[in-house]
Homo-oligomer: A and B are copies of this chain.
Amino acid sequence: MKKSAVFDLAILGLLQESPLHGYELRKRLSALMGAFRAISYGSLYPALRALAEAGYISETGDKTAPGPALSSKRARITYSLTKLGANYLKELLQDSGPDAWEDEGFGVRFAFFAHTEEVVRQRILEGRRSRLAERSSQLKKSLANARDRIDQYTLELHRHGLEGVENELRWIEGLIAAENKTQRTGS
């Protein structure tokens, strides 16, 4: 229950929806993370191996089109979530600690909010909100401080950085409000 969780979470979360083989999983993973960080096979396959060894997922070689039953055909390996894996996933989705709202983990956690309990969702959103608020105030302070001593480009960089943080802050606040509303009306 330690380690890099966020990675495992992403894999298990995707496999929950449907069994997949590595190549396809990688594409979904990249899309999930936001079209940016395309994770590499050198990372993915060992991770899948480890999850299989831990019993969280099961490997099944599938010969999609039932061609000649020869072993020459490099079979695709389809991974599916086991019962044990489903429980582990549930456990991971309970976590409402810092890992869930810090930069590295938040996106993935948010993507699986549909499978996350209301209370947990709210705690994560609140955690992220306060994290962003803290960052915003730090940036404001440093901007007010530097104002004169710092060159124009660095200033502009920080100004734009602050803008981005405040933007996400407003987004989160909107989400919190929406969560509260659906909670009150019962859906």
Chain A contacts to B: CB under 8 angstroms: 31-32, 34-36, 103, 107, 110-114, 135, 138-139, 142, 151-154, 156-158, 160-161, 163-164, 167-168, 171, 175
Contacts and interface: CB of A to CB of B under 8 A. Distances in A.
Question: Most chain-B CB neighbours within 10 Å: which of A34, A152, A156, A171?
Answer: A34
Contacts of A34: 139, 157-158, 161
Given A135-B36, A164-B164, A167-B164, A142 B31 contact: yes
Number of copies: 2
Contacts of A161: 34-35
A139 B32 contact: no
A113 B153 contact: yes
Nearest to A34: B161
A113 B111 CA distance: 37
Contact of A157 (B103, B111, B163): B111
A31 to B, nearest CB: 6
A118 to B, nearest CB: 13
